[in-house]
Structure 1
Amino acid sequence: MTAEELPGAAVPAPPPGTVVTGHYDQGPGYRVSRPQGSASWLFTWTVDGLGLLRQGTARIRARPGELVVLAPGVPHHYALAPGARRWRFWWTHCQARPGWAPWLRPCAVGDGVFAVRAPDGTHVRIEAAFRRLLADSRWTGDGAPPAAVPGEASAQPSVAVAHGSAARELALCALEEAVLLATAGAHRASAGPGARDGRVRRAEEVMAADPGAPHTVDSLAAGVALSPSRFAHLFTRETGVPPMRALREARLRHAARLLESTGLTVGRVAAASGFPSPFHFNRVFRERYGVPPGAYRSGERL
């Protein structure tokens, strides 16, 4: 076993449903291991040095100007790359917005890993987006959000958790800008025939448009003229997650938005989000967001 393969001590991932971001400048000995993977997506943007990320069978060396994204649910490990003296990078744990899937898909390298080198002219703006993401995550909801600090990226670790729906949405908007800027070139380059499968994209659009509908692998496959087995394999290969897991995530996000913005009872939120059993809904919602639906609505969440 080489130094690259040593997983190190297990490090817990942030609770599901939260938006956590930070900036690290790490030296020799830095290593994170999650044998069960994470319940959230992990976005990393390398500023200096060299990192090594491994998820499933995929390995990526993260260099300056590269965005590396790890999808949830797959064992992963990351560390300072062997021989490197430092790894300075921004990172964010969150649930990816459904609209990001078409941007990330051309950057897939397998096992839920997406990697792209951003065009040189975008690097300054991408780092500025991460600075704003960190500042917006610190917003309490009172007054104006804090201004991003130009000198935030120092040797001292800096971490923030977005509290409240407004702070989370602002933080995700900043991350969305960074993802779009980094992947735009890759997306354009792969826009030719056969570059990405429109059937998977159409299935994602169907889920996002009406997550509460009684979708199944069979119905989604029929909608794009594929056999269920072929559809499930293609969807998993291109998105990093099986179709029913993607559907459950879409339903849970929809339920969270209903709890935040409507006065519907928990039972009606469950039904409107595609969960016929309130008991099952309460269980999976708590697994995803760390608290039951009623507590989430009351603000008892990170």
Structure 2
Amino acid sequence: MSAAELPGTAVPAPPPGMVVTGRYDEGPGYRINRPAGASSWLLTWTTDGSGLLRQGTVETTARAGDLVVLAPGVPHSYAVGPGARRWRFWWTHCQVRPHWIPWLAPRVLGDGVYAVGTPDGTRARIEAAFHRVLADSRWTGTGAPPAPAADDDPVAVAHGSAARELALCALEEVVLLATAGAHPAAPGGDAGDERVRRAEELIAADPAAPHTVRSLAARVALSPSRFAHLFTARTGVPPMRALREARLRHAARLLESSDLTVERVAAASGFPSPFHFNRVFRERYGVPPGAYRSGERL
């Protein structure tokens, strides 16, 4: 049975670009079904009981200490594990940082499902990191970020780029701690990985540049087809989608930190058409650029 065939009410995922995190303690009968998948990545880390996660044709059971990551765009569902009395777990919806993908890649099960069993010695620190994700998501960007507290609301949404980036830093610690023992990095790394990382650096250094698959491939000495294949396999997204995401992140930072007009923000972020920029920005952040600047964010 595929995830799309599961019965039950479909539950929408958060809009793309957001960082939404929470901790749940659910009993039998709890189930989330997304026949169209999600536009963001979903990371779950189980602390007690068990959960059953399905994505596409892949099914995996998560028990205490298991990190399960679901890539976007594939039908999925998850529920309390069969026969389990509870499923206590942390979860986060976000757009993962591209360099996390090679860390997760050795534990891929297929259909965008990654499963990692975390060593006992790292679990207390992973738990603490998830508490920081929850607390940092509430940061307003001024003053000190809030300290984690046991009585925090179980769900938080990061508003503003500062809170999103700080929450992602704590989440990066989770991914690194979980995967560090799974695949020791070879000195120098794989040549394909190095070329993909170089392309990512080129995009990050100047997202507004007129990059194309062909131009990026030429910079890393690969054919366009080979480059596109390697980039997608190692990051989980095609090169031009990664470029668009980088441009949108750059635009969001400019809207938050400058007085440039929306048209100039669009041009400075690599979008020659303000109309196109408004459309894709709204798809990504849930509001048009002007409303985003005014603080009307989801």
TM-score class normalised by the smaller sequence: 0.7 to 0.9
Residue 226 of structure 2 corresponds to 230
Query: Which range moves more in the overlay, 126-135 or 230-239?
Result: 230-239
Query: Matches of 1:225 and 1:182 in 2, distance apart?
Result: 33
Residue 212 of structure 2 corresponds to 216
RMSD: 2.7
Which letter maps to 2:32? V
**Pairs within 5 Å for 1:1-302:** 1=1, 6-140=6-140, 144-150=144-150, 158-188=154-184, 194=190, 197-302=193-298
Residue segments in structure 2 that go unaligned for 5+ positions in a row: none
Shift of the alpha carbon at 1:9? 1.7
Which letter maps to 1:37? G
Query: Matches of 2:106 and 2:248 in 1, distance apart?
Result: 26
Query: Matches of 2:142 and 2:242 in 1, distance apart?
Result: 35
Percent identity of equivalent pairs: 79
Query: Matches of 1:187 and 1:254 in 2, distance apart?
Result: 32
Query: Which range moves more in the overlay, 44-53 or 132-141?
Result: 132-141
Query: Matches of 1:196 and 1:48 in 2, distance apart?
Result: 38
SS in 1 for 2:275: helix
Query: Matches of 1:105 and 1:210 in 2, distance apart?
Result: 27
TM-score, normalised via structure 2 length: 0.88
SS in 2 for 1:267: helix
Query: Matches of 2:271 and 2:183 in 1, distance apart?
Result: 35
Contact 1:101-1:239 at 8 Å conserved across structures = yes
Kindly tell me: are residues 107 and 246 of structure 1, through their superposed partners in 2, closer, same or farther at Cα, counting changes over 3 Å?
Answer: farther
Contact 2:2-2:54 at 8 Å conserved across structures = no
Contact 1:112-1:239 at 8 Å conserved across structures = no
Q: Indicate the structure whose relative CO is greater, using CA pairs within 8 Å and at least 6 residues apart.
A: 1
SS in 2 for 1:279: helix
Query: Matches of 1:294 and 1:301 in 2, distance apart?
Result: 10
Contact 1:39-1:288 at 8 Å conserved across structures = no
Kindly tell me: are residues 192 and 219 of structure 1, through their superposed partners in 2, closer, same or farther at Cα, counting changes over 3 Å?
Answer: closer
Contact 1:110-1:240 at 8 Å conserved across structures = no
Query: Matches of 2:79 and 2:99 in 1, distance apart?
Result: 29
Kindly tell me: are residues 98 and 192 of structure 1, through their superposed partners in 2, closer, same or farther at Cα, counting changes over 3 Å?
Answer: closer
Contact 2:3-2:35 at 8 Å conserved across structures = no
Contact 2:2-2:56 at 8 Å conserved across structures = no
TM-score, normalised via structure 1 length: 0.87
Query: Matches of 1:18 and 1:3 in 2, distance apart?
Result: 24
Which letter maps to 1:201? R
Shift of the alpha carbon at 1:270? 1.3
Contact 1:22-1:160 at 8 Å conserved across structures = yes
Q: Deviation digits for residues 158-203 of structure 1, max 9, x if unmatched?
A: 2122234443333222222222222222352566865973232222
| Matched residue count | 298
Contact 1:110-1:237 at 8 Å conserved across structures = no
Query: Matches of 1:141 and 1:194 in 2, distance apart?
Result: 38
Kindly tell me: are residues 256 and 7 of structure 1, through their superposed partners in 2, closer, same or farther at Cα, counting changes over 3 Å?
Answer: farther
Contact 2:278-2:289 at 8 Å conserved across structures = yes
Residue segments in structure 1 that go unaligned for 5+ positions in a row: none
SS in 2 for 1:16: coil
